[in-house]
């Protein structure tokens, strides 16, 4: 994006990855937690708070993801070596690995709950907040030096549409859309009635 290859990107950020984009604009669309996704048969579900000892005996299946890799490295710093059995790129394979091999996965709730493969969102999740900073923000990354085309602005609006509800408008069914425009004029507020045509 800094080299002008892409006009905008929809990405997850946490405290560890925010410093990697000092010269780019980020507009938050949603918040998410990174949880441990497990099989319904995993004994960890019977525990209250997870400890480093609990994680040492798990088999991890990891999504190919830079931010998740950083968190996993931090978990290994806390726990010692952790067993990774596979790295994957798609939700169907991850679901099969978790359910058939009783593996565990680091997954961001925003992604699992909006995955095209919905069974992944039905698997149990365990909070990791006592061990790591598991807070993420999802949003649009843009270059302040580049003006976005009308097509890109409309694309960001359409992608954002299902996710952005404001509490005071949730009852009326209206959505608040934040769309990157160009340069310093980054946020454009607009309400849309979901029942109206797009």
C-alpha separations of 3 from 19, 89, 149, 150, 178 in Å: 18, 26, 17, 20, 25
- Give the pLDDT confidence of 118-173 residue by residue, as tens digits: 899 999 999 988 888 888 898 899 888 888 888 888 888 888 887 765 444 333 33
- Give the pLDDT confidence of 86-101 residue by residue, as tens digits: 999 989 999 999 999 9
pTM assigned to the model: 0.71
Cβ contacts of 36 within 8 Å, gap of 6 or more: 44, 50, 104, 105, 106, 107, 125, 126, 127, 128
- Give the pLDDT confidence of 7-36 residue by residue, as tens digits: 888 888 888 788 888 888 898 888 889 899
């Amino acid at each position: 994006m800094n080299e002008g290859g892409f006009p905008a990107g929809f990405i997850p950020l946490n405290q560890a990855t925010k410093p990697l984009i000092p010269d780019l604009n980020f507009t938050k669309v949603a918040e998410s937690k990174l949880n441990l996704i497990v099989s319904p048969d995993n004994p960890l579900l019977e525990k209250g708070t997870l400890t480093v000892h609990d994680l040492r005996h798990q088999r991890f299946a990891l999504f190919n993801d830079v931010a998740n890799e950083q968190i996993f490295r931090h978990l290994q710093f806390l726990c010692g070596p952790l067993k990774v059995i596979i790295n994957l790129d798609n939700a169907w394979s991850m679901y099969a690995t978790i359910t058939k091999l009783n593996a565990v996965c680091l997954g961001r709730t925003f992604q699992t709950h909006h995955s095209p493969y919905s069974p992944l969102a039905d698997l149990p999740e365990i909070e990791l907040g006592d061990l790591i900073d598991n807070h993420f923000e999802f949003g649009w990354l843009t270059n302040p030096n580049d003006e976005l085309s009308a097509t890109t602005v409309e694309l960001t609006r359409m992608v954002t549409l299902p996710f952005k509800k404001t509490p005071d408008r949730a009852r009326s069914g209206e959505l608040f859309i934040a769309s990157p425009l160009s340069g310093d004029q980054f946020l454009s507020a607009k309400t849309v009635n979901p029942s109206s045509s797009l």
